[in-house]
Amino acid sequence: MSKSLNRVQASADAAGLAIEIRRMGDSTRTAEEAARQCGCSVAQIVKSLIFEGEESGRLHLFLVSGIHQLDLAKAATLVGEALRRADPRRIRDETGFAIGGVSPLGQPDNVPRFGDESLLGFDIVWAAAGAHDAVFAAEPGALFRAANVRSSDIVT
């Protein structure tokens, strides 16, 4: 297993979250691709979006259902400053994950995490596991607890 996948598994293990990382063979970079590969609805796919504060430069992780878009105004209110998409190179350098494989688990402690509260309505959701074709399933409440995610109204 790659270093990123090992970090995701170790984070899950440390939090007491039982997961099975699956390498799907084909890309799971988009919510639609992931839903096809996982055999679930697009709404059950967890998009892990990283934005940075325009003033502080601090990274923030937002977990959003595959059918929703992050509401930047709501997200900015939560973090206390305007946000912009973080540079993919910076995301990889600071989190260890490349775009398309950013996991909610295994994030650096200094990255605050917020989750789309609509995800909590599902029995199971699917999230990236550290690579463009790697995913895991989890009960959303357990995932939010394991990843230290604050449930919020963050979508349009």
Q: What distance in Å separates the CA atoms of residue 44 and residue 60, rounded to the nearest whole number?
A: 21
Q: What pLDDT sits at residue 115?
A: 98
Q: So what's the pLDDT on residue 93?
A: 97
User: What does the pLDDT read at residue 29?
Assistant: 86
Q: What is the pLDDT of residue 107?
A: 97
pTM for the predicted model, two decimal places: 0.96
Q: Please state the separation of Cα 43 from the chain's center in Å.
A: 14
Answer whether 64's CB lies under 8 Å from 50's CB.
no
Over residues 71-92, the mean pLDDT reads 98
Hey, which residues does 141 pair with through a beta bridge? none
Strand ranges (E), 6-146: 22-23, 45-53, 59-65, 83-85, 113-116, 125-128, 134-138
Q: What percent of the chain shows pLDDT beyond 70?
A: 99
Q: Is the pLDDT of residue 144 over 80?
A: yes
Amino acid at 140: P
Q: Assess whether pLDDT exceeds 90 at residue 69.
A: yes
pLDDT, one tens digit per residue, over 6-32 is 999 999 999 999 999 999 988 898 999
CA-to-CA dists, residue 106 to 69, 90, 99, 135, 156, angstroms? 23, 16, 15, 14, 27
Q: How far apart are CA 86 and CA 91, in angstroms?
A: 7
Q: What is the pLDDT of residues 101-128, one digit of tens each?
A: 999 999 999 999 999 999 999 999 999 9
Domains and CATH numbers, the chain: 3-152 (3.90.960.10)
Q: Are 10 and 106 in contact (CB under 8 A)?
A: yes
* Residue 1 in this model has a pLDDT that exceeds 80: no
Helix (H, G, I), strand (E, B) or coil at 53: strand
